[in-house]
Every structure is written in C-alpha cells, then in structure tokens.
Structure 1
C-alpha cells in the first residue's frame, strides 16, 4: 500500500519529537530534534524554526534532508525524504504554528522565551516505513470526519432561540453525538478581559461562573488569538498554566469559583466562538487519552463553535426587542422561611445564607431585582427595562445583558438557592422566591 502524508496525521501531533538529518556542503551530517512539525497538505510539511542553527545553515546550502516521524499510537517510524522550498515569517500557516507554540510554552512558563522566528516549508518526495523488530499494528488511515453527527448538531442549534438552550444543544451534541464526555462553553465578558463558564458536561462540578483570563492557558490563548488550540499530549506541558483553580470549599473566602477540569487530562482543544467579527466565547473539550482530537475533529468542532456564536449573536439582538412586562397586582409574600442575603457593594459580591453566590455585574443585577421586589412586590421584569436602569451602570452598548442574566440564572440553579430566575418569554424573566429575602448591604470589604 502506498503511504500518503494524510495517513501519517498522528505523527504530526507533537507527542513524540521528530528528527531532521541534514548535511553540510562538505558532507558533514547534522541531526536535530524538532519541537513542531505540521502537516500542510498532501505534498508538504512545515518545520518550526525558532533559533538559528546548523540545520538552518545546512538546508540553505543543501536543500535535501531526511525527516523521521513517529506515530505516537504504536511507535511506528517513517522516514520522509524532503526538500527545502522556502521560509515563511507571516501568514495563516505561520500564525497557526505560532499560536500552538505560545499556548504550549505558556503552560511551562516559557511564553516569552519560545517564540517562533519562522517556519520552513519542505516538499515530501518519498515516504518509507522504517521496519521494527517488534510487530505492531500499523494504522494507515486517518479518522473520517463525523459529518452526519455535525449536521445533526447544527440542525439542533439552528432551532434554538435562547442563549442557554443554544449552549445546551451544543454541549449535549458533543457528548451524545460526537462522544466528547468532557466539554465546556465560556462566554466573553463585555470588558474583553475574561471569559466565564456558562455550561459544562462531564465534570464533578459544573463550574458555572468560573473565569479564565484572556491570553492565559489553552482557553485564554484561543480567545486572545482567535485561533484553535489543540494539544495532544499534556504530559509535555503543565496543564492549565496560570488558569485560576481553587477548591469549591474556598469559594466563600476567595470569591473565586473553581474552573472544571480533568486532573489527568492528556488532550485538550479550544476553539474561539466568533460571529460578525466579534469574539463571543470559547468552546473547550478535553480527554484523558493522548491524541484524542484529530485535525478532522478540530474542523468539526470549529463548525459547532461558529454556528453557536452566530446563534448567540442573533439571540442577543432579538432579546433587545422585548416588550414591557404587563402590569400585575403585587405578589403575596412567599410562604417559606426568611433567608439572609448579604451584598458587598465594593465588588458587588452576593452571599446567600453565608454561601458565596456571585459578584460583579451579575451580583448587581440580582440585588437590583431583589430591591424592586421588596419595594414593589414585583416579580416579573423585561430585559429592556433592566437595561435602561441607571443604577446598574451597564454600558450603553454591547452590555451582553442576556449572557449576564443567563450566568446569574444558572449559578442560582447550581447552588440550589432560595432565589431562582425563570425565563417566561423572549426578553422576560420572573423572580421566584422560596421565602422572604432579608437584604443587607455592606460597603466595606469583609
């Protein structure tokens, strides 16, 4: 069977370093290990060129070289006879490799050291399997794209109109149709500095409201660069480099919600969710297996991320058109026992019965709704009237109120709080109380 480059896709996942052999003009050989080799197309590969080296000098003088790549699934080796064609210092391919290198380097604290200087493009002239004394199963076919599953997930996404349902359709589809047990969706905070978790599947705790700074770790880098990040062997890097992680029991003290994650993750993939040129969030998945995500998987997930981003953008624009809530008589006091709500105004953090709930704009939103209830006994509100309320200090544009309310609603559900937000129609919510709230606002830091 003729071996083609596409058959060797697992050899280019960066799990086992590749080796390049070159020769100087006088025939002196040189061997170097390569940090990154990328499949370009059926005839070309790209090699990272991070430092000036003997290899670089040799290939400029003698364009012929030999490349040894290893299939991480079974240890099978392949020799590629290659010929140097050109160097590239910009463009899509360069950016893709640079982002992957930065993401991996950031995990080991070397983001400022391991920078891509350029990439060298080689034409592959021959591929030969290197015989092994140990018999192994040789894989020569790459996994086929799961297009039918992708089509079904896209169909479900296209039917949803509310942001929460869109997120659920995407994550459920990844789990049920694509077999990705561990995934999460994070949406961008309007300030553009952080992403917050709005949905997850397969983790011990949901992590709703947990945050990742833009530019930090695999998730943050995908957001900052607006490019997919795929890591096939996390044992080579420090997982979740500087991402905030804390135990759930420390939430009350730190006001930091734990980010979900697999402690033994070996593969991770993060894809930016972009619509109309605006970053809406990041889709993230991980696995305890090495080489869990192929290039085809990345393409399928990119479709999901783009479709979800467009649906979210449309949902946000339609919610602005909601009509005013109909006038209704004041509600009767709830029958349950009273519960204590403490609001710390300096960071708008909210505690219910001494348990931390949320902070920031979402916390401010909850306190606003509770005050309106205590003053007017109102429980139903529209997004439009909330958006126009001056005390909330929402920006005049792109306030992403829909996502903030969704975050608040899911966090209340996650905590089993005596306060719940119920969506009763497009751009309309209802405050559901299991008792009478006793609101206390503190101006000092606790």
Structure 2
C-alpha cells in the first residue's frame, strides 16, 4: 500500500520528537532530535533550523537525510527519505513554524529566548512504514465528524440576546458536544488591554475576573496574534498560571484573580473570537487526554469562536440601544443593618467588600458610582444609556464594552457571595440590590487607604 504524508498528519503534532539522521562527507552519521517538523504539502516537510553545528555541516556537505516520525496514537513509525531544498527565513512557511515555536515558548516562559532562525525545506523522496517487533496500539474510536457538533454549539447560543445567556449557552453546549474537560471564555478589555474571564466550565472554581495579558501563555498569544494555537501534548510544558495558588488572601494581596487550571492537562487549544476585524476575546479549551483536539476539531472550534464573537458584538449593540427614553423609576433607599464596608482605591478603581478583593478597573468604578447614587438619591435602577452617558464614569470611548463590564461585575459579586448584587431587569436595564447599608470609603474623597 502506498502511503502519503496526509495519512501521517498525527505524526507532525509534536507529541513525540522526530529523529533526523544526516551523514557527513566522510560517511560518519549523526542523529538529532527535532521537536518541530511540519508537513507543508504531500511532497515537502519543514524542519526547524535550530540544528547543532554538526547537523548543519552534514546537510551542506550531503543534502540527503532520513527522518523517523512516530504516530502518537498507536506508536507506528515511518521513515522519510529527504532531499534538502532550501532554508527560508521569511514568508508563509516561516511564519507558520515561527508561530508554533512561539506557542511552545510561551508555555515554558521563554518567549524571548526561543526564536526560529529558519525553516529547512526538504523534499520527501520516499516514505515507508518501519516494522516493529511489537503490535501497534489499537486506535481510539472515531468520535464522528466535528460538523454536527459545531452546529449543535452554534444553535445553542444563536437565538440568545443577553450576553450572560450567550456565554453560558456556549459553555454548556461546548461541554456537551466535545466532552473535552474544561473551557473558558475571555473577552478583551480595551481599557486595560487584557483578556478577562467571563465564564468557565470544568474547573474547581470559576476564575471569573482572571485576566491574561496579550502574548502571555497560549491564551494571550492567540489573542495577540489572532490565530488558533493547538498543543497536543503539554506534558513537557508549564501551563501558564498553574503555579499560582488561588485564595482570597492571594486576591487581596495582588488585587487580581488567578486563572483556573485543569490538573494534568495534556491538550490545549486557544482560538481568537474575532469579528469585523476586531479581536473580541479568546475561547480556550483543554483536556487531560493527549491529542484531544484534531485538525478538524480546530476548524470547527474556530468557526464557533467567530460566531460567538458576532453574537457578543450584536448583544452589546442591542443593549446599548435598548434603554427607554422615559425616566427610570427610582426607589427610596432604606437604611438597613448590617452595615457593609466598601473600600475603593481610586488609582486603579479596585474595590474591596468586607476586606475581600472584588474587582478593579472600569467595573469597579461603575459599582462605586451605583452605590453613591443609591446613598445620595436612593437610586436602585440603572440603564445602560444612563451609565454610558455619565461623564463622571470616564468610560473609554464608543467601544466601551459596557455590557461585558456589567456582566463581569455581576458575576464577580455572585462568585464572592457578596451582600451586593446586580439584577438584570430587561435588555439594557439593571437593578442594584443591597442586603444592608453600604459604607463607602474612597481615597478619591477622603484620603483613606
């Protein structure tokens, strides 16, 4: 039976290093291990040009080489006879492999150290299976086409109009359709230029409010570069944020929320949620199984991420236009007990409720604005339009992502089981619910720390 490189796609996932054999002019062989080998088409492969000097010298002297690749599903081995063609330092092939190397580097914290020098392109002259004394492991059962699973996920959130419902429906549907392990949806916060967790499934805690900087780990790199990044075997990599202990003490100290982690994650995939030329966020999935996400899964999830971005953008636009022109009803406040201590630090708009860190940035500023309106005028009902046009809030421009910020604030209050909650009344309208009387201490006014 004639084999093709297409049939060996799993061998190029980077799970098991490939072995390259070259021969010098004097006939002395040399062996090198390669972590990055890419199938370019049915006749060519690309090898990362990070060779030791002996390998590079051998290729210059003798352009023929042999490459051993391994199928991580069943352990089957294949030999490729190669003819060196050229080394490229730019262009689509180089950028593709450089991006893969950056993804690996981001996982081990060496983004600025591990850089691709070039891609050595080789023509495949021959391909054959290598006989093994041991029988190959039986392949895993095929899960079926990813297309029906993709359709099921998109159908789940396509008719939703409220941002929170869209996020929850997508997370639940992804969990049911792909059965991978854990999922996060992070949206971009333009004011702080980071990706903030709005929802998750499959973790021990929600991680609502955890943020990732552009270029940081798989999530940040996917968001920064606007491309899908897939890791099929993370056993040799350090998962970003895994060493950070999640606790109230840690949150209070750092004024930040630790990113949730799936113990023993082996496969990870991050996909940009892009629409109309703008990165709205990142969809992130991981699994305790190696090779959990195939190339077909990646294509399906990429489309889901795009549809999710479009649904979120439409939800933001609808909420912005939904507030009625009539005045919002205002209810008198009732002084109640117990008192709720709320501390606001103006330099980063971080908010602490009863000494526990809640949130920072624009959502923190919005909460303090609502509490002050409640204390001064007894206001409990607010509209998106009212919040958006209030100059005192200093919202960042037209694309203020207000609906996203309100959802993040609402979910952080729920996640912390705070005595203050935001209730959604209808599209573009929310209600402040306070189980007590808030005592707001802000260094913006009083100089309190």
TM-score (norm 1): 0.91
Secondary structure, aligned partner of 1:235: coil
Contact 2:336/2:436 (8 A) holds in 1? yes
TM-fit CA distance, 1:138: 5.3
CA distance in 2, matches of 1:172, 1:141: 24
CA distance in 2, matches of 1:78, 1:376: 75
Secondary structure, aligned partner of 2:113: coil
TM-fit CA distance, 1:336: 6.5
| C-alpha distance after superposition, 1:342-365 (max 9, x if no partner) | 222232221222222111111110
Structure 2 alignment gaps of length 5 or more: none
Residue equivalent to 1:190: 190
Contact 2:197/2:209 (8 A) holds in 1? yes
TM-fit CA distance, 1:383: 1.0
1:432 equivalent in alignment to 2:423: no
CA distance in 2, matches of 1:93, 1:156: 37
TM-fit CA distance, 1:29: 3.4
Residue equivalent to 2:407: 406
CA distance in 1, matches of 2:281, 2:290: 25
CA distance in 2, matches of 1:428, 1:312: 17
Describe the shift of the 1:140–1:341 C-alpha distance in structure 2 as closer, same or farther (beyond 3 A): closer
TM-fit CA distance, 1:62: 4.7
Contact 1:248/1:258 (8 A) holds in 2? no
Contact 2:271/2:283 (8 A) holds in 1? yes
Secondary structure, aligned partner of 1:416: coil
Residue equivalent to 1:333: 334
1:13 equivalent in alignment to 2:36: no
CA distance in 2, matches of 1:389, 1:242: 40
Contact 2:192/2:361 (8 A) holds in 1? no
More deviation, 341-350/256-265: 341-350
CA distance in 2, matches of 1:400, 1:237: 34
CA distance in 1, matches of 2:287, 2:71: 19
TM-fit CA distance, 1:260: 0.4
TM-fit CA distance, 1:114: 1.7
More deviation, 63-72/294-303: 63-72
Coordinate RMSD, CA, aligned: 2.6
Describe the shift of the 1:105–1:327 C-alpha distance in structure 2 as closer, same or farther (beyond 3 A): closer
Structure 1 alignment gaps of length 5 or more: none
Contact 2:388/2:402 (8 A) holds in 1? yes
CA distance in 2, matches of 1:117, 1:161: 48
Contact 1:107/1:242 (8 A) holds in 2? no
1:373 equivalent in alignment to 2:380: no
CA distance in 1, matches of 2:33, 2:328: 72
Within 5 A, what are the aligned runs for 1:69-218?
69-137=69-137, 139=139, 145-191=145-191, 193-218=193-218
Residue equivalent to 2:281: 281
TM-fit CA distance, 1:58: 4.5
CA distance in 1, matches of 2:427, 2:271: 29
Number of corresponding residues: 446
TM-score (norm 2): 0.91
Describe the shift of the 1:330–1:138 C-alpha distance in structure 2 as closer, same or farther (beyond 3 A): closer
Contact 1:213/1:243 (8 A) holds in 2? no
More deviation, 327-336/223-232: 327-336
